[in-house]
Structure 1
Amino acid sequence: MADKDKLTYWELRAVRNEQKAHNQANDKVDVITNAYLRSQDYLTNQVDNIYKRYFGDGQFAEEQIKDILNTTVSPSELVTLQALAKNISDLQSKKQVVDYLSALAAKGRITRLEEIKAKAYISVKRAANIELKESTDLYTQVIQEAWNQATAEGIIGDVTKDVQLYEKGYAPELDKTNRTIKIVNPNTGKTITKVKAIPDKEIKTFKQLSDSYVKEALNQRWQGKNYSNRIWNNTDALADKLDELFTTQSMSGMSEYDMARAIEKEFGTGIYNAKRLIRTEANYFHNQTKLDGWKAHKVKEYQLVAVLDNRTSQICRKKDGQVFLVKDAKCDGAEGNYPPFHVFCRTVAVIHFANSPYTGTRTANNPNTKTAFQLKQNKTYQDWEEIVNQSK
């Protein structure tokens, strides 16, 4: 029989584990951001060299700049470009770069403008390579931990059935002859259920997920794409934006400083897209793996728990506290009943102990008083908002 503290602990742990996945994503975001910034610095320095060497004080007409940018670079520059791509390990990104350089080499001559465009493309794909590696490592870890959590919750769900029977006044009776335990209604004498009195083997560790499950989960398409497709698409878009910067017209109308700021702006957008992607996908993998685990352990219901603060979206405010059947779970953005419901979504699905007398509490923050307080698990965002407004 489980006690109140254990049930409260596990219900709270479901929320804390999602926060752990969020924190792990933050660590990866730092690594990915640094990769983008390194690519940005490299490209900015390359462009600065062109400005300093060929444009001087910038007093050149567009036709003069066009002539400069159309000059042929040394064939050795192609070797330099190939060396830049050497450390790209992701097969898709590597193929894209190889195809790009092959098309460039086939032209017979490479202009200075084509060279800087190629450096922009390769620097972006180098960042994409690191983003993909760090994301894959994170999601693999999140999937395993979420499965362990779902397994534990499934076991606890079985335990709560016995707890609820006992709380209703039903009493266990031991039948030593048949080595069974009967749960009996003392008012009617009717046997509610029977359990064989054979001790379970000690569970020392949860079973590791198979490589095939993890691979299948990582390749799963969500809203038409998987995370690697989104990384490639995002970095392709960044490369296209940079390509548009490096034209005769743009470079004749921009100072060295303005060009550096323009490069910074485009990489800033790329970093934002990477942050948005990894945090949203981490939430998706965390919740989706728990859903698979719950199905495997025949968990019946789940409840939505939104983070209680002023940043909570209108979508998640309305969904907070709602209970659904596991078999009906559907991840479909705001139209679905299973998180994530939007980008940067922080709502988590937790196992719902139907009719459990142990509701427990969760920690909520009051932005007006800068303090934390305990809120019953069955309270919703609207209840939190009412309490916070009363403290003004």
Structure 2
Amino acid sequence: MNNGEYWQKRFELLEQAAHQRGVQCYADIEKQYRQTQKQLEGQIAAWYQRFASNNGVTLAEAKRMLNAKELAELKWDVNQYIQYGQENAINGTWVKQLENASARFHISRLEALKLQTQQSIEVMFGNQLDSIDSTMRNVYKSGYYHTAYEIQKGVGVGWDFSALDDKQISKVINKPWAVDGKNFSERIWGNRQKLVNELNNTLTQNIILGKDPQKAIDEIARKMNTSKTNAGRLVMTEEAFFSSAAQKDCFDELDVEQFEIVATLDSHTSDICRGMDGKHFPMSEWKVGVTAPPFHVHCRSTTVPYFDDEFDAVGERAARDEETGKTYFVPGNMTYKEWEKSFVNGGDKSGLQEASPDDTIKAKEEIKQVAEELKIDNFPDAFKAKGELKNTQALVDYINGLEGADANVVALYNSMAKLETIENNGIPFKISHGKNHAVSTSTYTLTGNLADVKLTIPKLQGENLAGQVNTTLHEEMHLMDLYGRKDPSKSGNWFSTSRTVLMDVFKSTSDSISDEVADLFAEHKKEYRRVRDEVNAKYQNLISELNNSVMDKTFQGSLADYKKQYNKLVSAMNDERDYMARNIMGGGIGNLEDIYDALSGGVFRDKGTVMYGHGSSYYRSQESRVHETIANYAALSITRPDLIELLKADKPDLVAELDATIIELLKKAGEE
């Protein structure tokens, strides 16, 4: 991977992460619209039911004033609306209207309905503003810091810079950037007023024309859908702008002199983005919509630093001690969390090497560390025993033939013997090759101490080992997780779940699935069904032949022999189907699906959102979810780093903490 490709890849992932935040925000807004539409339908239906005669309400009847009882009921509702508005900082103008309504003694039936429906609209748009404001702050802040992290990590040098405060972020967020001179808050309230007017007009016209109330409900649903679409367009455009603004501000802070446009090239890419892809400009010429994204609504283009001489611009800044203060070399395996602690929050840098003003920052031909060779000598004795040596060697040979494996994760598997705490503590350990792959433990009832441990992994055989290797690495990561437990005499408190920060990050990580990952899962499901049907058809033919031989009395053997052959065919069908399915599309997609299933608490597997997973009955505890996630992550980091990149784009904080956990376990083995 050359340097240009490195920057493009890293910043495309940042753009995808920001884009996903926008998608999640829009998903929240869609939910708000659905809830509000349901409220409106209920309010309108109840109003017609109360005042209609022959399923209709005339204009005169609609304008009739509420009687004393009806007015009292409405005022109680209005006072509730006012209290909600005061507690939730809802639109001040609307609260004033409510206060005026509360003081009135004459309110028509139609006015009462409009008050009720507008309250629902006001609450929805208030929530919408909160969602968008929070998302845009997150997009800007995360984009700013992650841009700095990627640049400093990419050039190998880091230095302190001021953390963003709320005032700075608010200044950026609230500043109008489009040609109409409005910020997103003003656009939201503009959309609100438009929808309120349309809603009121629809209700009035429906009554004037004497239409069925369902007509009004249907028309309002259509207008709500249009408003929802406008909200989605607003969210994604604002997300693209603030993501771009974060990069610009960070580039300025780091003295990047030129930037390059990188478009997401696929069937949805616009002509303007295709034309801008690869163009570079001086930072002084940054102009949104002209030289910098977003270039249009739903724009997915991003920017990357552009260097004429392989990072010299940043390298010179890093060496200017009098301008930047101390600078430090940034290790290639430094996680975002570690970087943020050191360079944003002013944390301890005692473990970092200081870069002198005379140091020259040179480009790296290969940014990612090259994984060391996996060696069979580094496995515990049980893996090198006579009956197991061949299987372990097959695993080693397969992994050493892969490209792009994560260096830290391979190093961890190379540290298994150093981590081993089962047989070294006199606890019986056994490796088997059954179908129920797992790390199984048994304990003594009275003491709770470990009695024995069994590792069940596949026997590596066949032309395609991808699926079997993934399963083997998965279970061996479970074993290393167990090796790192706090008390070697016990079976609980594995290394991963003893890390509070990992448990907290996992708990706070959304179970949403990005579009890219969802598309992958959909393609995987389609391919799985094709493979399943192909294997089933093959064996159904064989079973039919067996049955026919019995029917035409050409079968040689007893009924017991028939049952034996039948069961053998069914077993072979299941085995081949499983073998083929685990290798679909290069293998490993089931592991990625299980990570998302763990995030959902098993709901995704239960509902069929994913094909592979453990389901809710297994994922009752967060411990089990984290155990499976770290095991899947380790396996994919070696066999399918491309899937890890997808996960990182969707769940950057979770991936950062999983990386940190791998490194901490390496430290426990004395390898870091």
Q: TM-score, normalised by structure 2?
A: 0.43
Q: After TM superposition, list the pairs within 5 Å mapping 1:54-133 onto structure 2.
A: 54-58=51-55, 64-72=58-66, 73-88=70-85, 91=89, 93-133=90-130
Secondary structure, aligned partner of 2:261? strand
- In the TM superposition, residue 70 of structure 1 has moved relative to its aligned partner by 2.4
Distance across 2 between alignment mates of 1:121 and 1:31:
20
| RMSD of aligned residue pairs (Cα, Å) | 3.1
Runs of 5+ in structure 2 lacking a partner? 311-362, 367-515, 524-584, 586-641, 643-672
| Residue-by-residue CA offset, 1:232-265 (whole Å, 9 max, x unaligned) | 1111111111111121654543212211111101
Count of residues in Structure 1 that have an aligned counterpart in Structure 2: 315
Contact 2:78 2:102 in 1 (8 A): no
Other-structure match for 1:226:
183
Other-structure match for 1:47:
44
Other-structure match for 2:144:
147
Residue identity matched to 1:115: A
Distance across 1 between alignment mates of 2:269 and 2:285:
25
Contact 1:154 1:299 in 2 (8 A): no
Residue identity matched to 1:21: A
- In the TM superposition, residue 65 of structure 1 has moved relative to its aligned partner by 3.8
Distance across 1 between alignment mates of 2:64 and 2:50:
15
Other-structure match for 1:195:
none
Other-structure match for 2:167:
212
Contact 2:65 2:106 in 1 (8 A): no
- In the TM superposition, residue 111 of structure 1 has moved relative to its aligned partner by 0.9
Distance across 1 between alignment mates of 2:225 and 2:115:
20
2:267 equivalent to 1:310:
yes
Q: Against the structure 1 CA distance between its residues 36 and 75, is the aligned structure 2 distance closer, same or farther, given a 3 Å change threshold?
A: same
- In the TM superposition, residue 299 of structure 1 has moved relative to its aligned partner by 0.2
Residue identity matched to 1:328: E
Contact 2:18 2:239 in 1 (8 A): yes
Contact 1:330 1:337 in 2 (8 A): yes
2:293 equivalent to 1:293:
no
- In the TM superposition, residue 85 of structure 1 has moved relative to its aligned partner by 4.8
Secondary structure, aligned partner of 1:350? strand
**Match of residue 306, structure 2, among 352, 364, 369:** 352
Distance across 2 between alignment mates of 1:118 and 1:288:
40
Other-structure match for 2:20:
23
Secondary structure, aligned partner of 2:304? strand
**Match of residue 213, structure 2, among 249, 256, 276:** 256
Distance across 1 between alignment mates of 2:230 and 2:207:
25
Determine which structure has greater relative contact order: mean sequence separation of CA pairs < 8 Å that are 6+ residues apart, divided by chain length.
1
Distance across 2 between alignment mates of 1:307 and 1:33:
25
- In the TM superposition, residue 359 of structure 1 has moved relative to its aligned partner by 9.4
2:289 equivalent to 1:339:
no
Whose strand proportion is higher, 1 or 2? 1
Other-structure match for 1:169:
none
Identity %: 25
| Residue-by-residue CA offset, 1:113-147 (whole Å, 9 max, x unaligned) | 01111122211110111111111221121111111
- In the TM superposition, residue 22 of structure 1 has moved relative to its aligned partner by 1.0
- In the TM superposition, residue 9 of structure 1 has moved relative to its aligned partner by 4.0
**Match of residue 242, structure 1, among 196, 199, 216:** 199
Secondary structure, aligned partner of 2:91? helix
Which has the larger displacement, 22-31 or 243-252?
A: 243-252
- In the TM superposition, residue 107 of structure 1 has moved relative to its aligned partner by 4.3
Contact 2:195 2:224 in 1 (8 A): yes
Residue identity matched to 2:282: L
Contact 2:206 2:213 in 1 (8 A): no
**Match of residue 135, structure 1, among 125, 132, 136:** 132
Contact 1:303 1:349 in 2 (8 A): yes
Which has the larger displacement, 29-38 or 244-253?
A: 244-253
Residue identity matched to 2:109: R
Contact 1:154 1:294 in 2 (8 A): no
Secondary structure, aligned partner of 2:105? coil
Distance across 1 between alignment mates of 2:62 and 2:142:
56
Contact 1:276 1:344 in 2 (8 A): yes
Distance across 2 between alignment mates of 1:68 and 1:133:
35
- In the TM superposition, residue 67 of structure 1 has moved relative to its aligned partner by 2.3
Secondary structure, aligned partner of 2:71? coil
Distance across 1 between alignment mates of 2:104 and 2:81:
20
